[in-house]
Structure formats: C-alpha cells, structure tokens
Chains A and B, each alone.
Chain A
Amino acid sequence: DTEVTQTPKHLVMGMTNKKSLKCEQHMGHRAMYWYKQKAKKPPELMFVYSYEKLSINESVPSRFSPECPNSSLLNLHLHALQPEDSALYLCASSQERLSSGANVLTFGAGSRLTVL
C-alpha cells in the first residue's frame, strides 16, 4: 500500500460548525504532515507529527487542532472557521529521515474545504 487516504474529499461547513478531516497511511511512515493550499498557490505547512508527537506548528490559529491517534492516522479538527480558511487541505507522510534528513513527501488527494 503506497497511498495516503484522506476523507472527506469535499466538506462544506458553517462558521459555527465543528468538523474533522481524516488521513490514513499504511506505509510505515513515521512523519505525517498537514498542508493548506489555496488556489494557484503552493502548499503551506501547518503541522508536522514525528513518531506521533507534534514536532512543528507553523503558528496555526487554534481553530485548527491536529491529532495523531497512532502512527497510521492523522486528524485535523476544525472549529469556528472563517471563510478565508476555505482551501485544499493536504495530508502527507514521509519516512522519518533519509540519510541526510531530507524527506520525500507522499501526499493524499486532499480535502477541499468550503467555509460559508
């Protein structure tokens, strides 16, 4: 299995809703990531989990709350979002480190979020 699976593919939510994005991989990768991508822009890093511990938070607002229940699963909990949070949310995974510390990212297909 060489895939990263994300659900749901599409999500529409109001500003008062609470929802979650889910990500799963079975490649034995020990690092998992959340990226946000706006139209015609590159992916922007949000969070990195390494060995199920949060290792990087790129100053993301607290209305985004990540969770890593185990080494195969990564969630992103959403609450009180704003319309400007509408974007494609990409999950990725990688082996913890190649020999140099550079990691090849395997991306999921993404969850397209619309906040009304």
Chain B
Amino acid sequence: GQNIDQPTEMTATEGAIVQINCTYQTSGFNGLFWYQQHAGEAPTFLSYNVLDGLEEKGRFSSFLSRSKGYSYLLLKELQMKDSASYLCAVTNAGKSTFGDGTTLTVKP
C-alpha cells in the first residue's frame, strides 16, 4: 500500500522561502513528483526526483532521500500567485498516488 504525508496548511510571506515536506511509505517506488493546483484548476507538474539529491528548476527545487522516504519542495522568492495547493505524488508501476496536499497561503 501507499502512505503519503504532507502538512495540511502553511503560511509564508511574499519574497520569503518556504519548504514543504513529504514523507512516504510505499510498496514500490519509481519516482516522486510535485504538482501545483490552484483552486478550481487542474494540477500542473512542478518537479520530480528519481534519484537522491536536489533538483533545481528556477524558483522551485525538490529534494529526495529514498532511504528516509522523504522529500521536500523548496519555493524561493515567494509571489502571491504561489498561493495554491502543493501535491506530493509517488509513482510506482505506472500508478501515481497523491498525498492530501499542502495549502500554501502567501501573505503580503
């Protein structure tokens, strides 16, 4: 089975840095993905990790430790438009299982 945990809500200030953690316990693992979902819209892909380490994509970075079952998404230079739900998803054998998501609120 799959168990994926993320904090429910986080609040941060415009211009700051925020780290959203994700821990997982899964029966198989091909990769860990991060998606962003604004209210009423579809999820959009942000970043993924297959191997341990840090992947950087502009203002977004994602880290993975497979031995610890742990990942985080780092958002730098926060903007108001970054207020959204951030979904951690583990993929195994063609199936992506999503965590419940972290609702991030960015305040001025």
Contact = CB atoms under 8 A, between A and B. Distances in A.
Interface size class of B (residues with CB under 8 A): 20 to 34
Interface size class of A (residues with CB under 8 A): 20 to 34
A22 B27 CA distance: 33
Contacts of B95: 45, 48, 56
Given A45-B95, A100-B30, A102-B91, A107 B50 contact: no
Interface stretch (B13-21, B39-47, B68-76): B39-47
Nearest to A108: B42
B94 A107 contact: no
Contacts of A42: 87, 98-101
Contacts of B43: 43, 90, 105, 107
Interface string B38-75: 00011111001010000000000000000000000000
B24 interface: no
A101 B96 contact: no
Contacts of B98: 42-44
Given A100-B30, A106-B45, A31 B94 contact: yes
30 contacts: A41-B100, A42-B87, A42-B99, A42-B100, A43-B87, A43-B98, A45-B96, A48-B94, A50-B94, A55-B94, A56-B94, A56-B95, A90-B43, A97-B94, A98-B31, A100-B31, A100-B50, A101-B31, A101-B91, A102-B30, A102-B33, A102-B48, A102-B50, A103-B91, A103-B96, A105-B33, A105-B43, A105-B45, A105-B96, A107-B42
Interface of A: 31, 41-45, 48, 50, 55-56, 90, 97-98, 100-110
Interface of B: 30-31, 33, 35, 41-45, 48, 50, 87, 91, 93-101
Given A102-B30, A102-B50, 18 more contacts: A42-B98, A42-B100, A42-B101, A48-B94, A48-B95, A100-B30, A101-B30, A101-B91, A101-B93, A102-B33, A103-B94, A103-B96, A104-B33, A104-B48, A105-B33, A105-B35, A105-B45, A105-B96
* Nearest 5 CB-CB pairings of A with B: A102-B31, A42-B98, A107-B42, A102-B30, A101-B30
